Amino acid sequence: MTLKELVSKFNFERVLDSNPQTKSLVLLGSIESQSAIISLEKTPFSVVLLGSIESQSAIISLEKTPFSVESQSSSETVSDLLKRIDEVKLNTINDIYHWGLSTLVQDLEKNASAKLNLIYPATAVHIKKYAQQQQFLINETPEMYVKYVEPYIQTMIGDRIKWVRNILFEGAEAEKTIYKDPIEDKEGFNLSPDMKWDGVNMDSLYLLAIVYREDVRSLRDLNISHQKWLREVNAKIRKIVADRYKGQIKPDQLRLFVHYQPSYYHFHIHVVNILHPGLGNGIAAGKAILLEDVIEQLSFLGEKGFKNRTISYVIGENHDLWKLGLKGEHEKSLSAY
């Protein structure tokens, strides 16, 4: 019996694993009353392209989408997916193991082949961010923050983050918003899907909570006076998401974290399905800090909070801060090794 014939006789029982990082899906079923396992994995594909549209810089990123299964027991959805297996090419057979390649019939609504993001017009900051670059682990002292980072932040607010104010106060992207506190609630926030999420696959759920208050630009601005507020925001986000996607995710299945350095200087919280490890450096140590850890550390950092401690993080050589002084400070510190 050929591999394609074996696959066509597969009777699905349940999902063993669905991994948004490896873009793989492992299914348990049977073929002619004998247990069988099918593993589907999308071939690697992730590329960032720089070009132009009407003489203005533009960035397109393409990434294979994860397999989408509505629930761990949704036989109808998985059966539909199995029917989309088109051509099958056998590579190797060894006893009970079969390896091969296949093509899938694509469907833009249920089984899109790739996720596409466009940034246009793309600024020099965007181009530097997405370009391949050397990375370095630095230890930013409070003195380095005051000397280099704080002046840099002043150049990155105002019109640079006008799009954030548009979301918070002007109704921009309102059709995407999952939850929004009244504007009068100065301690409220706006919760919307991040562009990294396709809006379909719950395993790769990625939301962004942007707070209303404008006195907190990054982790460095947090102190003990913000601890109660952060606890309330943490609990509120978990409840909102669990209620919105009832039966699909629970409050303790969410990972809430902040970035330092952040992509933009208006405080925001990343909200991700805990199953979703496929975020590269965005969720790695040296970039992401769990919100619970931030809240806990505030109990020990004194009145100045995070302005009072050295923060270790990874920075790329294309980052403006690297060229504005962090490179020199880093090279000085290497003499200690």
* Residues 237 and 286 reside in one and the same domain: yes
Any idea which of 135-139, 156-160, 217-221, 261-265 has the lowest mean pLDDT? 156-160
Which DSSP state fits 131? S
* Residues 77 and 220 reside in one and the same domain: no
Residue 74 in this model has a pLDDT that exceeds 70: no
What are the φ and ψ backbone dihedral angles of 259, each rounded to 5 degrees? -105, 145
Residues 287, 218: Cα–Cα separation, whole Å:
13
* Residues 31 and 169 reside in one and the same domain: no
Residue 208 in this model has a pLDDT that exceeds 90: yes
* Residues 257 and 144 reside in one and the same domain: yes
- Within a domain: residue 119? no
Distance, C-alpha 173 to centroid of its chain? 19
pLDDT score recorded for residue 72: 47
| Averaged pLDDT for residues 173-192 | 93
- Within a domain: residue 294? yes
pTM, two decimal places: 0.75
- Within a domain: residue 185? yes
For strands 114-119 and 189-193, give the pairing.
unpaired
Residues 274, 192: Cα–Cα separation, whole Å:
18
Residue 71 in this model has a pLDDT that exceeds 80: no
- Within a domain: residue 62? no
Q: Is 152 annotated as a binding residue?
A: no
- For 297-316, the pLDDT digits (tens) are 999 998 999 999 999 999 99
pLDDT score recorded for residue 278: 65
- Within a domain: residue 257? yes
Residue 56 burial (10 A CB sphere; 0-12, 13-18, 19+): exposed
Q: Is 265 annotated as a binding residue?
A: yes
* Residues 144 and 14 reside in one and the same domain: no
**12 residue type, one letter:** F
Q: Is 21 annotated as a binding residue?
A: no
| Averaged pLDDT for residues 48-64 | 85
pLDDT score recorded for residue 277: 67
- Within a domain: residue 212? yes
CATH number at residue 235: 3.30.428.10
Residues 149, 257: Cα–Cα separation, whole Å:
21
Q: Is 270 annotated as a binding residue?
A: yes
- Within a domain: residue 121? no
Residue 21 in this model has a pLDDT that exceeds 80: no
- Within a domain: residue 59? no
Residue 18 in this model has a pLDDT that exceeds 50: yes
pLDDT score recorded for residue 309: 95
Which residues are identified as catalytic? Answer: 268
266 or 31, which is more confident?
Answer: 266
Q: Would you place residue 2 in the very low, low, confident or very high pLDDT band (cuts 50, 70, 90)? A: confident
Any idea which of 114-128, 140-154, 318-332 has the lowest mean pLDDT? 114-128
pLDDT score recorded for residue 182: 94
Maximum Cα interatomic distance, the chain, rounded to a whole number of Å: 72
Q: How many CA atoms lie within 13 A of 3 on its CB side?
A: 19
CATH number at residue 99: 3.30.200
Residues 271, 277: Cα–Cα separation, whole Å:
13
Residue 167 in this model has a pLDDT that exceeds 80: yes
Any idea which of 15-19, 223-227, 263-267 has the lowest mean pLDDT? 15-19
- For 87-127, the pLDDT digits (tens) are 888 888 888 888 888 888 887 777 778 877 788 778 777 77
24 or 175, which is more confident?
Answer: 175
Sign of the CA dihedral with 289 first, then 291, 292, and 298 last: positive
* Residues 99 and 137 reside in one and the same domain: no
* Residues 149 and 255 reside in one and the same domain: yes
* Residues 26 and 142 reside in one and the same domain: no
Residues 240, 181: Cα–Cα separation, whole Å:
12
Across 91-118, b (16+ Cβ under 10 Å) vs e yields eeeeeeebeeeeebeeeeeebeeebeee
pLDDT score recorded for residue 213: 95
Token pair for 320? 């403006």
Mean pLDDT over the full length of the chain: 87
* Residues 19 and 106 reside in one and the same domain: yes
* Residues 282 and 197 reside in one and the same domain: yes
pLDDT score recorded for residue 256: 97
Q: Is 196 annotated as a binding residue?
A: yes
| Averaged pLDDT for residues 74-81 | 67
- E-state strands within 204-330: 206-211, 254-259, 268-273, 288-290, 311-316
* Residues 156 and 104 reside in one and the same domain: no
Whether residue 254 contacts residue 241, with contact meaning beta carbons closer than 8 Å, is answered with yes
Q: Is 260 annotated as a binding residue?
A: yes
**90 residue type, one letter:** L
Any idea which of 70-74, 126-130, 142-146 has the lowest mean pLDDT? 70-74
Its domain, for residue 258, covers 133-334
Q: Is 194 annotated as a binding residue?
A: yes
Q: Is 163 annotated as a binding residue?
A: yes
CA-angle at 134, arms to 128 and 138, nearest 5°:
100
SS (H, E, C) 85-96: EEEEEEEEEECC
Q: Give DSSP secondary structure letters for 159-219.
A: GGGHHHHHHHHS-TTGGG-SEE--TT-TT-EEEEE-TT--SS-GGG-EEEEEES-SS--SG
* Residues 312 and 181 reside in one and the same domain: yes
Q: Give DSSP secondary structure letters for 35-69.
A: EEEEEEEPPP-EEEEEEEETTEEEEEEEEEPPP--
Q: Is 262 annotated as a binding residue?
A: yes
Total of domains in the chain:
2
